[in-house]
Amino acid sequence: MSLLPRTLSRWRRRSGTSAISIIAPLTLAAACLSVSVISGPRRPRRHLRHDEHRVAPADHASSMQGPSWPASNATDGNLSTRWSSAFSDPQWLEVDLGSTQSICQVVINWETAYAKAFQIQTSNDNSTWTTIYSTTTGTGGTQTLNITGSGRYIRMYGTVRATQYGYSIYEFQVYAATSTGNTVTVTNPGTQTWTAGTAASLQIQASDSASGQTLTYSATGLPAGLSISSSGLISGTPTAPVPAAPR
């Protein structure tokens, strides 16, 4: 996930003859602004499968049901092959991405034997793990997880099976934000003045240098009574500042 800070112009709140100017920094968050597949099935040219740039076997698991269901089946790009674990808890499936990556999405294609409770964990040393996603209400099927984290190693760590069988995954796909860096341009609305107690509405506009991207907006430091929607609409009724109590 790439966070691109921009500065929103000053908002002035008026109460009587007094005016307060507030600088509200605007943050635009573009989820997976430009993503590349670093594990999973082969994609168009701008996507890379993790085993296209690794030099050693990168798929590992805590166990397998048998030789027909190795860990490598979960990253071979084939939805007719799968990894399947032993019939016990916990179990894990791990992928070595070859280098530290900024991860923004994981897609798991489960077989009928899915995880009811599992975590997505990352590590830089294959020893100390950080949980970046956790659920106890897994749904099976195809689960798309929009997450934020980084690491060279990533794994699905299952703690509760949904069936009497093991954990079984057709494809384990990992997406990372590219490091090329998109440029987000905010159309500055200029200095805006509103009277306290009067409804305000202002749409912030921004564009991404890469086509087809969806931007979401957030802001801090807006006057009390105002808020910004994820689509960039600032609205509400600003309130006058409360004067300090006399000493």
Same domain, 54 and 163: yes
Q: Please report the pLDDT score of residue 247 as a whole number.
A: 52
Same domain, 44 and 153: yes
| pTM for the predicted model, two decimal places | 0.56
CA dist., res. 173 & res. 109, Å (int): 8
Task: Note down the domain range covering 205.
Answer: 2-32+181-236
Q: Please report the pLDDT score of residue 46 as a whole number.
A: 30
Same domain, 86 and 24: no
Boundary (domain end) residue, out of 177, 194, 217: 177
- DSSP-assigned letters across all residues of the chain: -EEEEEEEEEEEEEETTEEEEEEEEEEEEETTSSEEEEESS--STT---GGGS-SS--EEES--SSTTS-GGGGGSS-TT--EE--SSS-EEEEEEEEEEEEEEEEEEEE-SS-EEEEEEEEESSSSS-EEEEEES----SEEEEEEEEEEEEEEEEEEEESSSS--EEEEEEEEEE-SS---EEEE----EEEETTS-EEEE-EEEESSTT---EEEESSPPTTEEE-TTSEEEE---PPPPPPP-
| Residue 230 reports pLDDT greater than 60 | yes
In a domain, 245, yes or no: no
Q: Please report the pLDDT score of residue 73 as a whole number.
A: 93
* Lowest mean per-residue pLDDT among 38-52, 134-148, 153-167: 38-52
22-57 pLDDT, tens digit per residue, is 334 444 433 343 334 455 543 332 333 333 333 233
Same domain, 163 and 216: no
Q: Please report the pLDDT score of residue 42 as a whole number.
A: 39
Same domain, 144 and 49: yes
**pLDDT more than 90, % of the chain:** 39
Same domain, 125 and 170: yes
Q: Please report the pLDDT score of residue 32 as a whole number.
A: 45
| Residue 210 reports pLDDT greater than 90 | no
Q: Please report the pLDDT score of residue 188 as a whole number.
A: 64
Same domain, 72 and 136: yes
The token pair at 24 is 């509200």
Number of domains in the chain: 2
Bond from prior residue into 90 cis (ω within 30 degrees of 0):
yes
Instruction: Provide mean pLDDT across the span 84-109.
Output: 93
| Residue 159 reports pLDDT greater than 80 | yes
Same domain, 124 and 212: no
